[in-house]
A and B are shown apart, each in its own frame.
Chain A
Amino acid sequence: MSQRNGSESASEPLAAAVGVTKRFGDLTVVDTVDLAVAAGEVVGLIGANGAGKTTLIRMLLGLLAPSGGRVRLFGEPPSRRTRARLGYVPQSLGLYEDLTVAENLAFSAAAYGSVGATLEGELAEARDVLIRDLPLGLRRRAAFAIALAHHPDLLVLDEPTSGVDPLQRARLWETIRSSAERGAGVLVTTHHLAEATQCDRLVVLAAGRVAAAGTLAEVVGDTTAVEVRTPSWEAAFTALDLARLPVSLVGRTLRVPGADPATVGRLLADAGVDADVASVPASFEETFVVLAA
Chain B
Amino acid sequence: MTGTWWGCRGLGVRFGDTVALDEVSLEVAPGTVAAVVGGDGAGKTTLVRALAGTVRPAAGTVRRPDRRRVGYVSAGPGVWTDLTVDENLSFAGRAYGLSADDLEVRVGALLDRTGLVEARDRLAGRLSGGMRQKLALAMAVAHEPELLLLDEPTTGVDPVSRAELWRLLASAAADGAAVVVATTYLDEAERAGTVLVLDRGRALLAGTPEEVLAATPGLVVEGAARPDAIPSWRRGARWRAWSPDGSTPPGTSPVTLDLEDAAIVAQLRQDLGRAA
Partner-B contacts on A (CB < 8 A): 42, 46-50, 135-137, 162-168, 170-171, 173-174, 177, 191-194, 197-200, 233-235, 237-238, 241, 246-252, 285, 288-289, 292
Q: What's the nearest-Cβ distance from chain B to residue A136, in Å?
A: 4
Answer yes or no: B101 CB below 8 A from chain A CBs: no
Known: A194-B186, A248-B191, A285-B187. Is A164-B40 also a contact (CB below 8 A)?
Answer: yes
Known: A49-B130, A193-B159, A247-B167. A163 touches B191 (CB 8 A): no
A162-B156, A165-B267, A194-B185 known; 4 new pairs, CB 8 Å cut-off, are A166-B267, A191-B159, A241-B174, A251-B190
Which residues of B approach A to under 8 Å, CB–CB? 31, 33, 38-42, 113, 128-130, 155-163, 166-167, 170-171, 173-176, 184-187, 190-193, 199, 208-210, 233-237, 260, 263-264, 267-268
In Å, the complex CA distance between A237 and B166 comes to 12
Q: How far is the CA of A239 from the CA of B187 in the complex (A)?
A: 26
CA distance in complex: A237, B175 (Å): 10
Among A166, A167, A289, the most chain B Cβ lie within 10 Å of the Cβ of A166
Which one of B40, B130, B166, B267 lies within 8 Å of A249 (CB-CB)?
B166
**Distance A37 CA – B184 CA, assembled complex (angstroms):** 29
A251 contacts B209, C-beta separation under 8 Å = yes
* Complex A-B, nearest 5 residue pairs according to Cβ-Cβ distance, in ascending order: A165-B39, A170-B233, A249-B170, A136-B40, A194-B187
A163→B167 contact, CB < 8 A: no
A249 with B234: CB separation less than 8 A: no
Complex A-B: 8 CB contacts under 8 Å: A165-B39, A170-B234, A194-B185, A241-B113, A248-B191, A249-B191, A251-B209, A289-B160
Whole-angstrom CA separation of A197 from B210 in the bound complex: 22
Determine the distance from Cα of A218 to Cα of B176 in the docked complex, in whole angstroms: 40
For the complex, what is the distance from the CA of A163 to the CA of B38, rounded to whole Å? 8
Residue of A nearest to B268 (CB): A167
B187, closest chain A residue (CB): A194
Provide the bound-state CA to CA distance between A166 and B38, in Å. 8
Which residue in A234, A235, A248 is a CB contact (below 8 Å) of B163? Answer: A248
Whole-angstrom CA separation of A142 from B191 in the bound complex: 33
* Chain A residues, Cβ within 8 Å of B184: 162-165
**Shortest distance from the beta carbon of B138 to any chain A beta carbon, whole Å:** 14
Specify which chain A residues have a CB less than 8 angstroms from the CB of B187 in the assembled complex.
192-194, 285
**B167 near A198: Cβ-Cβ < 8 Å:** no
Check if A49 sits within 8 Å of B199, measured CB to CB.
Answer: no
**Closest Cβ of chain B: how far from A50's Cβ, in Å?**
7
A266 vs B208: C-alpha distance when bound (angstroms): 31
B222 CB to closest chain A CB (Å) equals: 13
CB atoms of B128 and A50 under 8 A apart: yes
User: With contacts A165-B38, A194-B185 known, is A170 near B264, CB below 8 A?
Assistant: yes
Please determine whether B260 and A194 come into contact, CB atoms closer than 8 angstroms.
yes
Do B174 and A167 touch across chains, with their CB atoms under 8 A apart? Answer: no
State whether B170 touches A48 (Cβ < 8 A): no
